[in-house]
Amino acid sequence: MMDLVEAIADLKEEEALKIVKDRLNGGEDPLKILEEARKGLEIVGNRFATGEYFIPDLIYSGEIMKQITEMVKPLISQTTEAKKLGKIVIGTVAGDIHDIGKNIVVFMLEVNGFEVYDLGVDVPPERFVEKVKETQAPILGLSGFLTLAFDSMKRTIEALKEAGLRDKVKVMIGGGQVTDEVRKYTGADAYGKDAMAAVSLAKAWVGAS
């Protein structure tokens, strides 16, 4: 039988789901299966970072993982708190409803052990501030695709300042048109070109790289 880690890493959907089904029927610990699945996703993420895999591979691996989670979750009797690397609040900024890139970033951050609070799209500055206050997350991620997002990102970071939270939070931004010029304009701490950059930044900021 193929290794589950390998099946997921190679994006073999049918094999992966069959392996999970057979092993669950055999009475195996669902948490062990989930952990192996996550290892498979880490390999997917690494292959994306090295340019072997592309966005479709990430999205497809997400679909495979979603189905595995659906099979496994009902069998987990208690929530075991796997040690999380840290909390991150993330969302697409006010006025913008694009979310494909953001969703990939959320997915990769979760796979890499972060606890992510995804606020969705078109998120006003106040809602970001509220969530950062509530969760005490040390990292805030702002996503935006349109040029109007630049001002929304700026206003969100200003709102953090006004709430007295700016020095407690590291802010990363990303999106199709984001560059270092935009980072400077918005006042963010860093920007990333893709999901793996987000993971590297987050790990560096929590001292876990």
Partner 1 sequence: MEKKWEEMTPEERQEVLIQRWLSPKDPQGEDLKFKTPEAEAEYKARVQRLVDAIQLKKTPDRVPVLPLPNMFPVYYYGITVQEAMYDYEKCFAAFKKFVLDFQPDATMGCMGPGPGKFYDIVDYKVYRWPGHGVGPNQCYQAVEDEYMKADEYDALITDPTYYFLTVYFPRAFGSLKGLSLLSPPTYVLEFYPTFSAVHFIPFALPPVQEALKVMAEAGAEVLKWIQGVVGWNLEIMASGFPLLAGGGCKAPFDTVGDTLRGTKGIIIDMYRQPEKVLKAVEALVPIMIKMGAEAAKQNGIPLVFMPLHKGADGFMSDQQFKTFYWPTLKKVILGLIDEGCIPFLVAEGGFNSRLEVIKDLPKGKVVWMFDQTEMAQAKKILGDSACIAGNVPTDLLAVGTPEQVKEYVKKLIDTCADGGGFILTNGAFFDEAKPENVKAMVEFAKEYGVYR
Residues that bind partner 1 (CB under 8 A): 11, 13, 53-57, 59-60, 63, 95-98, 100, 122, 146-148, 150-151, 176-179, 181-182, 184-185, 194
For the CB of residue 124, give the shortest distance to partner 1 in the complex, in Å. Answer: 11
Reading the block at residue 24, the tokens are 């669950």
Residue number, 6 or 60, with CB nearest to partner 1: 60
Residue number, 56 or 207, with CB nearest to partner 1: 56
| Separation between Cα atoms, residue 101 and residue 132, nearest integer Å | 21
Residue number, 42 or 96, with CB nearest to partner 1: 96
Residue number, 18 or 23, with CB nearest to partner 1: 18
Reading the block at residue 86, the tokens are 């840290």
For the CB of residue 128, give the shortest distance to partner 1 in the complex, in Å. Answer: 17
Residue number, 69 or 209, with CB nearest to partner 1: 69
Q: Is 87 exposed, middle or buried (0-12, 13-18, 19+ CB in 10 A)?
A: middle
Mind giving me the DSSP string for 91-121? Answer: EEBTT----HHHHHHHHHHHHTTEEEEE--S
End-to-end CA distance of the chain: 34
Residue number, 189 or 194, with CB nearest to partner 1: 194
Pick from 111, 114, 116: nearest CA to 38? 111
Pick from 132, 141, 119: nearest CA to 202? 141
3-class secondary structure, 171: strand
For the CB of residue 30, give the shortest distance to partner 1 in the complex, in Å. Answer: 25
For the CB of residue 4, give the shortest distance to partner 1 in the complex, in Å. Answer: 18
For the CB of residue 95, give the shortest distance to partner 1 in the complex, in Å. Answer: 5
For the CB of residue 105, give the shortest distance to partner 1 in the complex, in Å. Answer: 13
| Separation between Cα atoms, residue 55 and residue 196, nearest integer Å | 11
